[in-house]
């Protein structure tokens, strides 16, 4: 699933985050850089499976990648996640107070 991150529709975003393993990876990488081996250990899934899910998240722009020597580190791209969530809100709840608040935050 290759997605152009500049045009990530609400449906594509929902598909990317619909998988339980990807959600766990996103939560684990939320606030700091994590190596693939750390993600494998935390999720309990095989390295090839983790790499597959990381590629989907990377293609969607939901994680940022930092190669360092023989290891690769990932962290959640919180700005992209927030933008996608905001787009979901604008699409499905355009008049809600939460959507208005998100718009204000994103505009700043």
Q: Which among 15, 3, 67, 2 has a CA at the least distance from the CA of 36?
A: 67
The residues facing 64 across adjacent strands are 75
Instruction: Copy the structure tokens of residue 58.
Output: 């990377």
Task: Assign 61 to helix, strand or coil.
Answer: coil
Whole-angstrom distance, CA of residue 62 vs CA of residue 97: 25
Grade residue 88 by pLDDT with cuts at 50, 70 and 90.
confident
pLDDT tens column, 4-36: 445 688 889 999 999 999 999 999 999 999 999
Higher per-residue confidence, 61 vs 88: 61
Q: Which among 84, 89, 92 has a CA at the least distance from the CA of 4?
A: 84
Strands 63-68 and 34-35: unpaired
Burial of 13-28, coded b for 16+ CB within 10 Å and e otherwise, reads bebbbeeebbebbbeb
Tokens 């590629």 found at: 55
% the chain with pLDDT above 90: 65
**What domains lie within the chain, and their CATH numbers?**
8-107 (1.10.10.10)
């Amino acid at each position: 699933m290759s997605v152009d991150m500049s045009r990530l529709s609400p449906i594509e975003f929902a598909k990317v985050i619909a998988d339980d393993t990807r959600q766990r990876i996103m939560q684990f990488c939320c606030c700091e850089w994590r190596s693939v081996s750390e993600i494998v250990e935390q999720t309990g899934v095989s390295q090839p499976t983790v790499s597959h899910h990381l590629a989907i998240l990377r293609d969607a722009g939901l994680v940022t990648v930092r190669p360092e020597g023989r290891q690769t580190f990932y962290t959640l791209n919180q700005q992209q996640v927030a933008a996608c969530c905001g787009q979901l809100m604008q699409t499905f709840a355009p008049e809600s107070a939460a959507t208005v608040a998100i718009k204000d935050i994103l505009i700043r």
